[in-house]
Amino acid sequence: MIKKFDKKDEESGSGSNPFQHLEKSAVLQEARIFNETPINPRRCLHILTKIIYLLNQGEHFGTTEATEAFFAMTRLFQSNDQTLRRMCYLTIKEMANISEDVIIVTSSLTKDMTGKDDVYRGPAIRALCRITDTTMLQAIERYMKQAIVDKVPSVSSSALVSSLHMVKMSYDVVKRWVNEAQEAASSDNIMVQYHALGLLYHLRKNDRLAVTKMLNKFTKSGLKSPFAYCMLIRIASKLLDETEGGHDSPLFDFIESCLRNKNEMVVYEAASAIVHMPNCTARELAPAVSVLQLFCSSPKAALRYAAVRTLNKVAMKHPSAVTACNLDLENLITDSNRSIATLAITTLLKTGSESSVDRLMKQISSFVSEISDEFKVVVVQAISALCQKYPRKHSVMMNFLSNMLRDDGGFEYKRAIVDCIISIIEENPESKETGLAHLCEFIEDCEHTVLATKILHLLGKEGPRTPQPSKYIRFIFNRVVLESEAVRAAAVSALAKFGAQNDDLLPSVLVLMQRCMMDSDDEVRDRATFYMNVLQQKQKALNAAYIFNGLSVSIPGLEKSLHQYTLDPSEKPFDMKTVPLATTPITEQKTEIAPVATSKLPEKLAPSRQDIYQEQLAAIPEFQGLGPLFKSAEPVQLTEAETEYVVRCIKHTFSRHMVFQFDCTNTLNDQLLQKVLVQMEPSESYEVLHYLPAASLPYSQPGSCYTLVRLPDDDPTAVSCTFSCTMKYLVRDCDPNTGEPDDDGYDDEYVLEDLEVTVADHIQKVLKPNFGAAWEEVGDEFEKEETFALASVRTLDEAVKNIVSFLGMQPCERSDKVPENKNSHILFLAGVFRGGHDTLVRARLALADGVTMQVTVRSDEETVVDVILASVG
């Protein structure tokens, strides 16, 4: 092994690495000369360098040996060699975590930090703070305060930065140095200014008022440091974002004025801040875009990169604002830095005209193999956006994507392509067959199980409805023969869907299923047996319930219910209707392409919002008899944003009750609220059963109180109700600084906005992937139909949106998207009514003067049908 290295070194001819074959034990042995007198600075320096080098290479030092070396090193403080002393500081910092009793050097470091030699002072402070803990910090506090305002910039900077590091550990101590930091902020030295600003912001960031004051001061007085300017811009844009300040605010003016700063770094920071602001108009963006345009022709690659990356971002939301830069971007297409070229092309794809698409696609395919996966994903995203904009170009895109799909690439990249193809298929029905064919080809040789199962699922859904479903069978069955268990199981499910939908294919599918029943994997066999039996019944309703539209319950909820059932055995069979439904049904394959900056966390099945609420509510004894939680609505604000108390309400629906959860926040720092509850006055025959107050509500700590209401049993059609709400509480004034409350308080109340309960609160969204089958399954026993005229609505799109949000049901078969230039449309909605009744709505819409709507409702319960029709009318 060693020989090999030597040979290589000879070959490279650059001489060997003197640190290459360092042995930790030998180096530690050498470290003994630290104890020799007189100290040989040269040799000691070399040994310290070796130790640091070894640590840097990841060599592990045991505590004993590290401590021994550390103690030997402390002797070197006797030498006055400058570089040696500096290396001692470095060693202290590197060993702070591995050696014991590092605090032994505290006095030496304190001496250096307060000594006359300015060269030592800064680094000594930084080393000292590295080994100091909260208790010891008190002892050096005096020195730190002095150091922060020291006239030597390196001392002041070191003290400020070290203070910042220590904020995490000892916030309370460092907070006391605010005045010193304030003084340092007006220093002439640019780095001191920057560090002081950083520390000040960090200490005050939770106090919006103080941050505002600080911003005002610095934006007026002006700073010298470009770094400090960048920091100010970030603080200002964060504050703008939090306060939802309008763009006429002085903060916005400040950021805009930075576009005229003479330092490029500041100009870019300002432009980027403006671009990232939500709701910026094209006119507000214009100055930022024009400075970025200038940067595009900079000789510095980093600046060109920064500019084009930011323009790319602008183009996502405001393509027209970037059009002015098209010429500059064209020049960047041939940039030697492929990242810049890729970003330029993808930006142009977003801003350019339809005619330039072919040319750009040709350009990009010439070097797509040279760029990193991260940027390939950017390209795919651009294509995906383009397809939505120019649906006619889908054949060019589809070709390009299928070529990319054949190339090598990581999972993220392949997933982006597959998602993109799927979204094209959904947008353009005429591209469906080519798209499916490409995907079929892809799964023939696909190493990613997740993608293979996803595509099989899609084939099962879309394949049976194509003119020639039989050609997909081969691809699917190949998977059963060749792939891993998960893929085989998915293939079996896909096959079953073909059999259920296409009667002429059924016999062949049954034969294939029989073959699958001999699979070596349990899951695959189980699925095959199950589908075989369902298919043999040849009943549409069974097919719909068990093959097309799977379970719509929440999986964690099902797990919990089943567990409960096994704990408490009873004669009754397990009732699926008691299981809470899945809250956020996977919106029908609305593919969001994942951000490029991929988190490395493995994807976990996170419990949904509703599962969390279910858990929280079940923990409250008063609410235990209510049964499973049926639905939790989105929070509704009951106060204006900037009031003394902020209250929002979440409506939880149970089968016979509703629980209103009020999340209250007290924004007055001189008050402590106690026994907070929200009194509700219903307009209908709803009955308030119980109030559960929040015991205490200190300043800025949110708390929840609950109100339990019984739904009227006798009149099931009374689904809507208005509550007038008043918050009642006991106020105890308190000292804003300490939070110490007065002994006695007084009762007070605060009127909140009215709360509405509507029909949507009684219906949970459920996605039926195959609406037609579900429609047949429910049957026409309780079908009712009525026609309405929606006079106030002007477009079909608007009508669809209104109906969906009013009924709170799930649009199926992508029927919530109205094709352009059509005068009529059919909307399919599915949901489950409180109590577990499947409910389906078919609304035929026609556009004349207003919109005419014919609503057909089916459900397994007559009252539900009546309720829905009554509420629509």
Partner 1 sequence: MDSKSLEPSLYTVKAVFILDNDGNRLLSKYYDPELYPSMKDQRNFEKNIFNKTHKADNEIAFLEGMTIVYKSSIDLFLYVVGSCQENELMLMSVLNCLFDCLNQILRKNVERRCFLENMEGAFLIVDEIIDGGVILESDAQQVLQKVNYRLVSEPAYGFVLFDHITGNLQAQTDKNQLL
Q: Which two tokens stand for residue 596?
A: 């490029």
Q: Cα–Cα distance between 418 and 826 in angstroms, integer?
A: 29
Residue given tokens 């792939």 in the structure block: 483
Restricting to residues 74-103, which ones interact with partner 1 according to CB under 8 A? 82-83, 86-87, 89-90, 93
Q: Site for partner 1 (CB under 8 A): which residue of 1, 2, 4, 15? A: 15
Instruction: Give the angle subtended at the CA of 542 by the CAs of 537 and 545, to the nearest 5°.
Output: 155
Name which of 151 and 300 has its Cβ closer to partner 1: 300
DSSP code per residue over 69-105: HHHHHHGGGG---HHHHHHHHHHHHHHTTTSS-GGGG
Q: Binding string, 18-37, against partner 1, x = CB under 8 A?
A: xx------------------
Contact region with partner 1 (CB under 8 A), list: 12-20, 102-110, 348-356, 441-449: 12-20
Q: Which of residues 376-395 bind partner 1 (CB under 8 A)?
A: 378
Asked if residue 544 binds partner 1 (CB under 8 A), the reply is: no
Contact flag: residue 201 with partner 1 (CB under 8 A): yes
**Cβ pair 128, 158 in contact under 8 A:** no
**Contact with partner 1 (CB under 8 A) among 29, 35, 56, 643:** 56
Stretch that binds partner 1, among 31-39, 306-314, 518-526, 538-546 (CB under 8 A): 306-314
Query: Which CB sits closer to partner 1, 47 or 581?
Result: 47
**Residue 275 and residue 313: Cα distance in Å, rounded?**
8
Residue 533 has a CB neighbour count (10 Å cut-off) of 12
The residue from 75, 247, 313, 801 that contacts partner 1 (CB under 8 A) is 313
Closer CB to partner 1, 12 or 520, in the complex: 12
Peptide bond into 287 cis (omega under 30): no
578-617 positions binding partner 1, by CB under 8 A: 595-598
- With contacts defined by CB under 8 A, name the span among 121-129, 421-429, 642-650, 832-840 that binds partner 1: 121-129
- Which region, judged by CB under 8 A, interacts with partner 1, from 223-231, 551-559, 615-623, 626-634? 223-231
440 to each of 451, 454, 668, 671, 752, how far by Cα in Å? Answer: 11, 12, 62, 66, 57
Cβ proximity of 530 and 489 under 8 Å: no
Comparison of 83 and 484: residue with beta carbon closer to partner 1: 83
Among 3, 4, 25, 58, binds partner 1 (CB under 8 A): 58
- Asked if residue 457 binds partner 1 (CB under 8 A), the reply is no
Cβ at position 120, least distance to partner 1 in Å = 10
Distances (CA, A) of 193 to 84, 156, 672, 736, 873: 30, 10, 39, 31, 66
Q: Which residues contact 16 (CB under 8 A, 6 or more apart)?
A: 6, 9
From the list 116-124, 416-424, 624-632, 799-807, the region that binds partner 1 by CB under 8 A is 116-124
User: Looking at beta carbons only, is 171 or 806 nearer to partner 1?
Assistant: 171
- In the complex, the smallest distance separating the C-beta of residue 87 from partner 1, rounded to whole angstroms, is 6
Q: Does 177 bind partner 1 (CB under 8 A)?
A: no
**Sequence-distant (≥ 6) Cβ neighbours of residue 461 within 8 angstroms:** 497, 769, 770
Q: How many residues bind partner 1 (CB under 8 A)?
A: 77
Which residue of 154, 249, 696, 852 would you call a contact of partner 1, by CB under 8 A? 154
432 binds partner 1 (CB under 8 A): no
Interaction between residue 161 and partner 1 (CB under 8 A): yes
Does position 164 interact with partner 1 (CB under 8 A)? The reply is yes
Which of 39, 45, 380, 404 forms a contact with partner 1 (CB under 8 A)? 45
Site string for partner 1, 332-351 (x = CB under 8 A): ----xxxx------------
Closest CA to 673 of 696, 705, 651: 696
Stated length of the chain: 873
Residues 266-295 that bind partner 1 (CB under 8 A): 268-269, 272-273, 276
- Token pair in block for residue 685: 């025959």
Q: Give min distance, CB of 298 to partner 1, in A.
A: 10
Query: Which token pair is 798?
Result: 């608007």
Separation CA 302–CA 539 (nearest Å): 65
Residue 727 β-bridge partners: 678, 750
CA dist 609 and 453 (Å) reads 27
* Chain position carrying tokens 């304030």: 182
CA 212 vs CA 242, 287, 701, 736: distances in Å: 12, 25, 22, 19
Least Å distance, CB 333 to partner 1, is: 16
